[in-house]
Amino acid sequence: MRLAWRTAELRMLLPLLVLVPLGFVLTHVAEAGKLDPGPLGLALGYVAIMLGAHVALTLFGHRGDQLLLPLVGTIGGIGMIMLNRLPQDLAGTSVLGVDLGMAATQLVWFGISVVAMLVVAIGFRDDGVLRHYKYTWAAAGAGLLAATFVFGKEVNGARLWIDLGPVQFQPGEFIKIVLVVFIAGYLAENRALLTGASNRIGPISIPPLPYLLPMFAIFVIVMLIVVISKDLGTALLFFGIFLTMLFVATGRRSYVLIGLLLFVAGAFVAYELFGHVRLRVDVWLNPFEDPAGPAYQTVHAIYAFGRGGLFGEGLGQGLLPGVGGGFPAIQTDFIFAAAAEDLGLVGAFALLFLALLLVFRGLRIAMLAHDDFSGMLAVGLTTSLGLQTLIIVAGNAKLIPLTGVTFPFVSYGGSSLLASFLVIGLLLSISHRAARAADAAQS
């Protein structure tokens, strides 16, 4: 093990020392109405966790990408600031008899997730476990999904949660990773054998059967999620990840097009058959028809964007969290709308831009990966983060029907945070191995 300085990472992490505490101070001054920095423990704790991760990676001589951690740290930092700014009794937990508020609970999850990320990034030296046992993983994912269907608890009309005594978790977040691993393994194995070959029925080029089968299987799974879990966001996300990876593996837009047509057809059927789908779509199309009814959240999210304007109402000064005596799901589904109201379009753009940079970074890791499986894995993982961000932001802004996925690294919730950091851990390990291989080739 060789110690390697990670100066770029450190340089981009240090500004967090100013940014996160400043956000906390701003919130406190706005809320207390007097000049007083307020408690900064959580802010400093957060920055300490990120710097701690940096030190750990350095000590273990990790050669992985140096911008991932600072990007995630900045996005997560804004998330911590927003969660600290919301009413603290929205969520929380009690650890060893100490009651923790929402932001404190999230900080604990940050700690756990970052450790998990480090374990994956540093400990994961061989991807054979993933690629050779892809069917085992697929089975595990399917089992988890089935468990959600059977034991899942319905919250806000969607069945996403599994209750494990003291801990609840959202299996969907982890099934997502398993799905990416499986598709990456499947496509990497079959890609080269099948490029070029395709059957034609008339003018339409039909993908060869080995593509068609898993495509169909995943479509069925996605529709099952829509029907049984009523979780439109996860369904859209899964299908989007699959189509994206299929495109990268084959370079064929036609496959994506066929997949999209399939999705549209499925969506149409779902709209006709299922009340909860129809409601979501109707609310999306005509939110102002009944602003006090089911469109309540959508309408008020839009108002929040409008109030935010260019430079925002000011951290801690937005009205959305207080609408109706407490806005439902503001700490999860609508955290972006709350941030856009407080920080304005300028702040919202910054958040989106950070997410985009993270995506670019992930795709770069995919391009530099030393084998096809790692590359496909990186593409899938990156896409999962990027699409998830796009789906929730577009849903908040009424560009697509609202769906309940989380904003990675920003929304409140342990499952989401843990899964997102596992993704980062995997990306770090992929880029680490690519760097080592490049070194080996040069020497």
Partner 1 sequence: MTGDLLRILLLVLQLGFLAILYLILFGFARSLLRDLRSAEQTQRASLTGIGRLAVLESPEDQPPTGRTIALGPINSIGRNVNNTIFVEDDFASTNHAMLTFRGRSWFIEDQGSTNGTYVNGHRIERPVALSFGDELTIGRVRMRLER
Partner 2 sequence: MIVTNVRRLGVYLLLTFAAVSAGLSYWQVVDAQALASRPDNPQVVAARRTALRGTIFDAQGKVLASTAVVGGLARRTYTDPAFSHVIGYASLRFGTTAVERAWDDILSGRADPNPLRELLNDVLARQPQPKDVTLTIDQRLQDFAAEQLGDKVGAIVALDPRTGAILAMTSTPTFDATPISGDPNSAVGAMEAITSVKNNPLVDRARQGRYPPGSTMKVFTAAAALDAGAITPQTTFPDQPKQETEGFVVDGFKITEHDLSPVRPALWPLSEALQVSSNIFFAHVGLELGAKAFLDYARRFGFCEPSRIGSGSHSIPVDPSYVTTAAKGDCTDFSDRTELASAAFGQAQVAATPVQMALIAAAIANDGVMPEPFAVRDARSHAEKPATGPSEAILERYGGSAGTRVVSSKTASEVRAAMVDAVEGKFGKLYAGQGAVKLYGAGGVVTAGKTGTAQRAAGQAPHSWFIGFAPGGSGATPQIAVAVLVEGGGSGAGLAAPIGGKVMAEWLKLEAE
Of 135 and 353, which CB lies nearer to partner 1 in the complex structure?
353
Q: What angle do CA 413, 397, 275 make, to 5 degrees?
A: 80
Q: Residue for token digits 């927003």?
A: 82
Tokens at 194, concatenated: 């099948």
User: If binding is defined by CB under 8 A, does position 323 make contact with partner 2?
Assistant: yes
3-state percent breakdown (helix, strand, coil) of the chain, nearest 5: 70, 5, 25
Which of partner 1, partner 2, none interacts with 282 (beta carbon under 5 to 8 A by kind)? none
Within residues 377-416, the interface with partner 2 by CB under 8 A covers: 379, 383, 386, 390, 393-394, 397-399
At its nearest, how many Å lie between partner 1 and the CB of residue 56? 21
Q: How many residues does the chain have?
A: 443
The whole-angstrom distance between residue 12's C-alpha and the CA centroid of its chain comes to 22
Phi and psi of 166, rounded to 5°? -75, -25
Of 50 and 424, which CB lies nearer to partner 2 in the complex structure?
424
Q: Are 81 and 24 in contact (CB under 8 A)?
A: yes
At its nearest, how many Å lie between partner 1 and the CB of residue 123? 21
User: If binding is defined by CB under 8 A, does position 352 make contact with partner 2?
Assistant: yes
User: If binding is defined by CB under 8 A, does position 249 make contact with partner 2?
Assistant: yes
From the CB of residue 279, how many other CB atoms can be counted at a distance below 10 Å? 16
Listed in sequence order, the residues at least 6 apart from 338 whose beta carbon sits closer than 8 Å to its beta carbon are 82, 85, 86, 304, 318, 320, 321, 327, 330
Q: Are 402 and 283 in contact (CB under 8 A)?
A: yes
User: Which position among 9, 231, 313, 342 is part of the footprint of partner 2 (CB under 8 A)?
Assistant: 313
At its nearest, how many Å lie between partner 1 and the CB of residue 166? 37
Q: Are 377 and 250 in contact (CB under 8 A)?
A: no
Q: Which of 173, 64, 46 is nearest to 118 (CA)?
A: 64
At its nearest, how many Å lie between partner 2 and the CB of residue 352? 6
At its nearest, how many Å lie between partner 2 and the CB of residue 320? 9
Listed in sequence order, the residues at least 6 apart from 140 whose beta carbon sits closer than 8 Å to its beta carbon are 178
Phi and psi of 153, rounded to 5°? -100, 135
Instruction: Enumerate binding residues for partner 1 (CB under 8 A).
Output: 8, 11-12, 15, 18-19, 22-23, 25-26, 29-30, 33-35, 67, 70-71, 74, 78, 131, 188-189, 191-193, 195, 311-312, 314-315, 317, 343-344, 346-347, 350, 353-354, 357, 360-361, 364, 367-375, 437, 440-441
Q: Are 25 and 37 in contact (CB under 8 A)?
A: yes
Task: Determine the interface stretch with partner 2 among 6-14, 198-206, 269-277, 288-296 (rule: CB under 8 A).
Answer: 288-296
User: Which position among 161, 305, 334, 409 is part of the footprint of partner 2 (CB under 8 A)?
Assistant: 305
The Cα–Cα gap between 65 and 72 comes to 12
Task: Determine the interface stretch with partner 2 among 34-42, 64-72, 92-100, 376-384 (rule: CB under 8 A).
Answer: 376-384
User: If binding is defined by CB under 8 A, does position 57 make contact with partner 2?
Assistant: no
Of 300 and 361, which CB lies nearer to partner 1 in the complex structure?
361
Residues in contact with partner 2 by the rule CB under 8 A: 244, 247-251, 288, 291-292, 299-300, 302-303, 305-310, 313-314, 317, 319, 322-323, 340, 344-345, 348-349, 352, 355-356, 359-360, 363, 366-367, 372, 375-376, 379, 383, 386, 390, 393-394, 397-399
